[in-house]
């Protein structure tokens, strides 16, 4: 009990620290900061990809359900406990119970691992941004081969945007086993990205507050302008946008994976925020800390996050629809030309209307010659499904759409500025998730300069590990970190968080604190989700997904120009040592929770069995005292 200040002591502490601690200038800046941290690159490229992986709009149904049952309640819980205890992630859980200190350390390690790959994506954005100041754009046409007699074969068989992404940018290897050398242009862009991040976080909240407000306000402006431009053209949002709508009777191929992805996405409000928002609630103006309406804050932030994901998915699918509409006639024309050349047919005898009939005739007349023809897959569903994979979404689909727009370099500059803002604002909060626990743990000497403490250490240490992502196989490892560094860890941390607050800190005490801070007690919805629904759902999803991973080892898709179905990516199994790395990433941060709890237990046992003379109160041993 002594670890947790009373309500009266809390008011006194607020008055004493109001002039010394850093704080937000106003409530609007605080809210925009939270929104800026929640809404990031994942809303633009990860959410639409998850929709695509699970049947388009069918993914939105479990996403919205879990947002209501998990995402919003857990974010409210984190806002409230941080506002009440006014400590960082490690300090909050140490105050609730020393055995829970590992929860704050685990969240710090998740932030560290996310930082290993997240800023690499920002480096890719900067690379595209630097290449946008050209006319024509370098990804708008294929380069010529060495003999200047045609296009480079890899580009001709795929597309200019695919070639620029996989070859000019990543220079990707054909296997994760082939690490390759460091790509200096990506390393240079990564250095620039970390330098910008350091400058923005060098003084903490005093400097990050203003950029956060700007980034939060301008982030969706290019997307909105982009969509309006799409609507003005004949290629509009249909048919791609229709895939973003939930079907009447969705068919789910992998329900366990869908539930895990939906839970992680809906908990993105808390997922990355696990241990991050707790210090933010401390930093509002001291006059209103204890009376801040954290319930309204959590609802507003969660709704904005969910709306942004759905809105971005709609825009993305509109662009995918345009991409498919553009590719469909070109592919059909190639198939017609293949059939004409294969059977020496006169020009104009084969059209889109009679193509199927002519195929049957040619096959009947000469089956052997027909079997040697190589037709491209030519249906709208195939084109709508191609290229929508993780990081490639922004760097392939969007760039192809940009090349079709007037003043393409201008649109490209605006779009990658938007992506840069999305990624940078998320990295601001992610850095707080590393720096604040380091301060709470007193790992960094207090005599060190503030510039080195708040930003220098993480901005120097994390890039040292992230250099591996600049190698030829770096994008494969980035996908591994994206899939395994946060997924299961954040689900487990969210589970331990709600258990720690509701069952260790106490539901009644927590509700009393909220009533003191907001003027009213939490309703039935909040209490039911905190006490039963959220922990049960999180535990069920964790167990089911762990069983799924154990029964079906994960695979990856490699870019291989020698693959017979190229430009489709070749699916390969992970080597055994990579599977071991995946398992380590999936559970390593969370291991801090039981390790610290066990350490606390052993420390208490040693304390009880120590020499009785050490505590100043001699006690008799064996037999009765005289």
- Report the pLDDT value the prediction gives residue 578, as an integer from 0 to 100: 93
Q: pLDDT tens, 426-443? A: 787 777 778 778 777 877
DSSP string, 276-293: THHHHGGGS-GGGTTT--
Q: Is residue 82 classed exposed, middle or buried when 0-12, 13-18 and 19+ CB atoms within 10 A define those classes? A: buried
Q: What is the mean pLDDT of residues 279-307?
A: 68
54-58, 242-246, 485-489, range with greatest mean pLDDT: 485-489
Q: What is the mean pLDDT of residues 469-497?
A: 88
DSSP string, 399-449: HHHHHTSTTHHHHHHHHHHHHHHHHHHHHHHHHHHHHHHHHHTT-S-TTS-
Q: At residue 404, does pLDDT exceed 90? A: no
Higher-confidence position of 550 and 559: 559
Higher-confidence position of 456 and 163: 163
Higher-confidence position of 310 and 451: 310
Gap between the Cα atoms of 31 and 213, Å rounded:
9
- Report the pLDDT value the prediction gives residue 499, as an integer from 0 to 100: 93
Q: What is the mean pLDDT of residues 274-284?
A: 46
Q: What is the mean pLDDT of residues 550-567?
A: 86
Please state which CATH class domain 7-331+377-545 belongs to: mainly alpha
**Which pLDDT band holds residue 212 (cuts at 50, 70, 90)?**
low
- The vertex-603 CA angle with 601 and 607, nearest 5°, equals 115
Q: What is the mean pLDDT of residues 472-477?
A: 92
Q: At residue 481, does pLDDT exceed 60? A: yes
Q: pLDDT tens, 337-395? A: 888 888 888 888 888 888 888 888 888 888 888 888 878 767 766 666 665 565 677 78
C-alpha distance across the termini of the chain, in Å: 36
**Which pLDDT band holds residue 271 (cuts at 50, 70, 90)?**
very low
- Report the pLDDT value the prediction gives residue 501, as an integer from 0 to 100: 92
% pLDDT > 70, the chain: 74
Of 464-478, 506-520, 549-563, 609-623, the one with minimum mean pLDDT is: 609-623
Gap between the Cα atoms of 108 and 457, Å rounded:
14
- Provide the whole-model pTM: 0.83
Q: pLDDT tens, 43-65? A: 777 787 777 777 666 778 888 88
Whether the Cβ atoms of residue 546 and residue 488 lie closer than 8 Å to each other: yes
**Which pLDDT band holds residue 544 (cuts at 50, 70, 90)?**
confident
Where do the domains of the chain lie?
Answer: 7-331+377-545
- Report the pLDDT value the prediction gives residue 284, as an integer from 0 to 100: 43
Query: How many of the other CB atoms lie within 10 Å of CB of 334?
Result: 14
Whether the Cβ atoms of residue 256 and residue 548 lie closer than 8 Å to each other: yes
Q: What is the mean pLDDT of residues 169-191?
A: 92
**Mean pLDDT, the chain, integer:** 78
Gap between the Cα atoms of 13 and 10, Å rounded:
5
Query: How many of the other CB atoms lie within 10 Å of CB of 22?
Result: 13
Q: pLDDT tens, 110-159? A: 888 888 888 899 999 999 999 999 989 999 999 988 888 888 989 988 88
Q: At residue 25, does pLDDT exceed 80? A: no
Q: pLDDT tens, 80-99? A: 888 888 777 788 888 888 88
- Report the pLDDT value the prediction gives residue 232, as an integer from 0 to 100: 59
Q: What is the mean pLDDT of residues 455-461?
A: 67
């Amino acid at each position: 009990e002594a670890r947790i200040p009373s309500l009266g002591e809390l008011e006194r502490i607020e008055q004493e620290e109001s002039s010394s601690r850093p704080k937000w200038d106003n409530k609007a800046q605080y809210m925009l900061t939270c929104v800026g941290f929640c809404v990031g690159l994942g809303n633009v490229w990860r959410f639409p990809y998850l929709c695509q992986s699970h049947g388009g709009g069918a993914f939105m149904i479990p996403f919205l359900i879990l947002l209501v049952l998990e995402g919003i309640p857990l974010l409210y819980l984190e806002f409230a406990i941080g506002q009440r205890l006014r400590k960082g992630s490690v300090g909050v859980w140490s105050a609730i119970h020393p055995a829970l200190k590992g929860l704050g350390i685990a969240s710090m390690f998740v932030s560290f691992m996310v930082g290993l790959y997240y800023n690499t994506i920002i480096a890719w954005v900067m690379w595209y941004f630097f290449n946008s100041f050209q006319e024509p754009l370098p990804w708008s046409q294929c380069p010529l081969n060495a003999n200047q007699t045609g296009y480079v074969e890899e580009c001709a068989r795929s597309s200019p945007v695919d070639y620029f992404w996989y070859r000019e940018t990543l220079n990707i290897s054909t296997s994760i086993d082939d690490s390759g050398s460091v790509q200096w242009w990506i390393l240079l862009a990564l250095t620039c990205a970390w330098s910008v991040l350091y400058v923005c976080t060098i003084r903490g909240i005093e400097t990050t507050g203003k950029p956060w407000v700007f980034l939060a306000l301008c982030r969706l402006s290019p997307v909105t302008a982009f969509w309006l431009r799409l609507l003005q053209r004949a290629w509009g949002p249909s048919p791609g946008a229709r895939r973003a709508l939930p079907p009447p009777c969705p068919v789910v191929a992998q329900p366990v994976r869908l539930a895990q992805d939906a839970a992680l996405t809906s908990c993105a409000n808390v997922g990355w925020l696990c241990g991050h928002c707790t210090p933010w609630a401390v930093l509002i103006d001291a006059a209103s800390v204890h009376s801040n309406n954290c319930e309204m804050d959590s609802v507003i932030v969660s709704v904005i996050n969910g709306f942004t994901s759905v809105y971005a998915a709609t825009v993305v699918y509109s662009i995918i629809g345009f991409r498919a509409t553009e590719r469909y006639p070109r592919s059909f024309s190639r198939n017609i030309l293949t059939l004409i050349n294969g059977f020496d047919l006169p020009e104009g005898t084969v059209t889109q209307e009679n193509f199927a009939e002519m195929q049957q005739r040619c096959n009947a007349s000469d089956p052997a010659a027909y079997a040697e023809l190589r037709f491209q897959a030519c249906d709208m569903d195939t084109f709508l499904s191609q290229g929508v994979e993780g990081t490639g979404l922004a760097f392939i689909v969007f760039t192809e759409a940009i090349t079709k727009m007037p003043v393409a370099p201008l649109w490209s500059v605006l779009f990658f500025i938007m992506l840069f803002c999305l990624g940078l604002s998320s990295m601001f909060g992610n850095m707080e998730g590393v720096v604040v626990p380091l301060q709470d743990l007193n790992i960094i000497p207090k005599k060190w300069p503030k510039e080195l403490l708040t930003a220098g250490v993480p901005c120097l240490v994390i890039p040292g590990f992230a250099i591996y992502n600049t190698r030829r196989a770096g994008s494969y490892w980035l996908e591994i970190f994206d899939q395994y560094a946060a997924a299961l860890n954040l689900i487990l941390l969210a589970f331990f968080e709600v258990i720690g607050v509701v069952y260790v800190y106490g539901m009644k005490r927590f509700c009393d604190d909220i009533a003191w801070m907001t003027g009213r007690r939490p309703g039935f919805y909040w209490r039911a989700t905190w006490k039963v629904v959220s922990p049960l759902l999180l535990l069920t999803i964790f167990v089911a997904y762990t069983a799924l991973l154990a029964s079906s080892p994960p695979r990856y898709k490699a870019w291989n120009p020698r693959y017979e179905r190229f430009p489709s990516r070749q699916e390969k199994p992970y080597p055994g040592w990579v599977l071991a790395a995946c398992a380590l990433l999936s559970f390593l941060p969370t291991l801090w929770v039981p390790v610290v709890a066990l350490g606390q237990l052993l420390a208490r046992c040693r304390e009880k069995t120590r020499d009785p003379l050490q505590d100043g109160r001699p006690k008799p041993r064996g037999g009765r005292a005289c």
